[in-house]
A and B are shown apart, each in its own frame.
Chain A
């Protein structure tokens, strides 16, 4: 158990809908990362938050957004869902920036999203 929790474990929804994925980082971790794992694209970085602020964006679609709350949990919002959004969505957390470098990331169990 990494200490990172994600809810829900599974989500089945229809095209055009909107869903919210939730992540609670390990105690003490300030940085949260979201990754998408799909069969065709592999593991891709979506977005990073550090202590409540957006730090970096990767291959995140405009239909997707995220935020990190004062208690450091994070939510990833996916809207106008398409069949191609079906994937495993991982949250990872790390302590953050220490002594000039980012620390290693610990992954949650993932949320399996199926869009029908």
Chain B
């Protein structure tokens, strides 16, 4: 069975600074996807970034980038130049590539507060 662990229940960062959210996962699969989802106070689940396990290059989306360490089963999210609108819950999620089902497995989340 796959598990996703986010060890930081809460974090805070000053506006314009950089913050890194941690995620580790456990799986025996060799091919999978990893995602970071953002859930602002509106409760909408918004996809921030995705990484395919077979790709060595770390994914980047504007101010968001990941550090994917496959051997260590680690998938951290770096937010640069933090903005007030980044305040949200962040969920790390895992999905098997090509599995019989395509559901996401989520971590418990990290609550990020960006302070002015």
Contact = CB atoms under 8 A, between A and B. Distances in A.
12 contacts: A31-B102, A42-B109, A43-B109, A44-B106, A55-B102, A92-B104, A102-B95, A102-B98, A104-B33, A104-B50, A105-B102, A107-B45
Nearest to B43: A110
A72 B109 CA distance: 31
Interface string B89-105: 00100010111111111
Contact of B43 (A96, A102, A109): A109
A3 interface: no
Nearest to A58: B103
A109 B44 contact: yes
B111 interface: no
B103 A42 contact: no
Chain A interface main SS type: strand
Given A43-B91, A101-B97, A102-B95, A107 B102 contact: no
B25 interface: no
Contacts, number: 64
- Chain A interface category by residue count: 20 to 34
A97 B102 contact: yes
A111 to B, nearest CB: 10
Contact of B35 (A33, A56, A103, A104): A104
Interface of A: 2, 31, 33, 35, 42-45, 48, 55-56, 58, 88, 90, 92, 94, 96-97, 100-107, 109-110, 112
Contacts of A102: 95, 97-99, 101-102
A35 B108 CA distance: 14
Given A104-B50, A106-B47, A107-B45, A56 B101 contact: yes
Nearest to A94: B102
Of listed A35, A42, A112, residue having the most chain B CB within 10 A: A42
A48 B109 contact: no
Contact of A42 (B43, B101, B106): B106
Contact of A105 (B100, B104, B109): B104
A56 B103 contact: yes
A88 B42 CA distance: 12
A103 B35 CA distance: 12
